[in-house]
């Protein structure tokens, strides 16, 4: 692998929420070539078992590396990062970056009190991957599953009063649990790649002084660091249009319709791929 050639980066999510990570990657490395896969046929991962998530994620990673020739993988899905990173690393012979460690590192940098809150899917919370990554950095983390949020985002209700209310309820519960545990949280980690779309609502709902961490941004920053010289080669400002190819395992039309909101630009034509059941 040449050290200065622009890289082909595979970006994987269970759906199209991971496009928020792709958006952050493109901002930092517009000259890289990107292959995005959303496993929309098997979404949500957040309510499934570790075994199933690992199988789905490994198959998706093989598609990106074996068939699409990705040289570096970003797992733009908190659930797959929390429960399937080992399985993915065993499935493909390229470097793999998940979003949990960068998210926890950003929380460490942001928190003064050492107490952080994490909102994520059921599976991510049950894995306690964030709690472990935070603890390794001297932080205390309280995690909460917010299973209603992914369907609300999938519905496009990113400004809807119902979503505002649901976030308020979840945060009130989390604040009560934090108070009962004697924590003084000053940082909230959005531990699901759908949630950056709700970031303005979270920022309005948290108490003043609480910082909101978006694991999409911290993962993109970690990817730049890991890619070293190749990231520098891909950071060139002289790019007419970033090369992005999007694949989905189902709901291609919905992906094309809603995906541009996540990516902040058109996702173009999304190609259908069959990875089996
Ligand atoms: N992409 C998942 C995550 O970041 C959310 C959607 C799902 O449950 O599959 O955790």
> Which of the four pLDDT bands, split at 50, 70 and 90, describes residue 1?
very low
| pLDDT at site 5 | 82
Domains 8-98+218-272 and 100-215 fall in the same CATH topology = yes
Distance between Cα 197 and ligand 1 center (Å): 13
**Beta bridge pairs of residue 75:** 12
Q: How far apart are CA 75 and CA 95, in angstroms?
A: 11
277: CB partners within 8 A, 6+ apart? none
Calculate how far, in angstroms, residue 228's C-alpha sits from the geometric centre of ligand 1. 28
Q: pLDDT by residue (tens digit) across 144-156?
A: 999 999 999 988 8
pTM equals: 0.93
Using CA atoms, how far apart are residues 182 and 204, in angstroms rounded to an integer? 24
Q: What tens digit of pLDDT does each residue of 124-144 get?
A: 999 999 999 999 999 999 999
Asked if the model's pLDDT at residue 86 lies above 80, the reply is yes
Domain ranges in the chain are 8-98+218-272, 100-215
Q: Which CATH class is domain 100-215?
A: alpha beta
Task: Assess whether pLDDT exceeds 80 at residue 237.
Answer: no
Q: Which CATH code is given to the segment(s) 8-98+218-272?
A: 3.40.50.1860
Is residue 77 flagged as an active site residue? yes
Tell me the pLDDT band of 229, cut-offs 50, 70 and 90: confident
Our answer on whether the CB atom of 103 is closer than 6 Å to any ligand 1 atom is no
In this predicted structure, the answer to whether residue 2 has a pLDDT above a threshold of 60 is no
The protein residue whose alpha carbon is closest to atom 6 in ligand 1 is 44
Residue to mutate (ligand 1; options 76, 192, 259; most atoms within 8 A of CB):
192
Residue 52 has pLDDT above 90, yes or no: yes
Tell me the C-alpha distance between 214 and 234, whole Å. 23
Q: Say if ligand 1 is within 6 A of residue 244 CB.
A: no
């Amino acid at each position: 692998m040449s050290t200065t050639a622009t890289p082909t980066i595979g970006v994987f999510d269970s759906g199209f929420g991971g496009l928020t990570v792709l958006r952050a990657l493109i901002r930092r490395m517009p000259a890289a070539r990107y292959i995005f896969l959303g496993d929309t046929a098997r979404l949500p991962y957040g309510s499934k078992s570790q075994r199933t998530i690992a199988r789905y994620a490994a198959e998706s990673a093989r598609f990106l590396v074996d068939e699409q020739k990705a040289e570096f993988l970003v797992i733009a899905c908190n659930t797959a990062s929390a429960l399937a990173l080992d399985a993915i690393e065993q499935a493909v012979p390229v470097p793999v970056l998940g979003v949990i460690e960068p998210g926890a590192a950003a929380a460490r940098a942001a928190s003064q009190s050492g107490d952080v809150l994490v909102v994520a899917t059921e599976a991510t919370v049950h894995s306690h991957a964030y709690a472990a990554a935070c603890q390794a950095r001297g932080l205390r983390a309280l995690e909460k599953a917010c299973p209603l949020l992914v369907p609300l985002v999938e519905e496009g209700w990113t400004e809807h009063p119902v979503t505002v209310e649901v976030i308020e309820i979840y945060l009130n519960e989390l604040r009560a649990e934090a108070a009962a545990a004697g924590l003084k949280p000053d940082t909230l980690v959005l531990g699901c790649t759908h949630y950056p779309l709700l970031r303005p609502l979270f920022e309005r709902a948290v108490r003043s002084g609480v910082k909101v961490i978006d694991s999409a941004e911290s993962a993109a920053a970690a990817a730049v660091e890991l890619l070293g010289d190749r990231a520098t080669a891909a950071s060139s400002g002289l790019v007419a249009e970033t090369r992005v190819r999007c694949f989905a395992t189902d709901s291609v039309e919905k992906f094309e319709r809603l995906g541009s909101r996540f990516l902040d630009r058109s996702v173009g034509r999304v190609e259908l791929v069959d990875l089996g059941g």
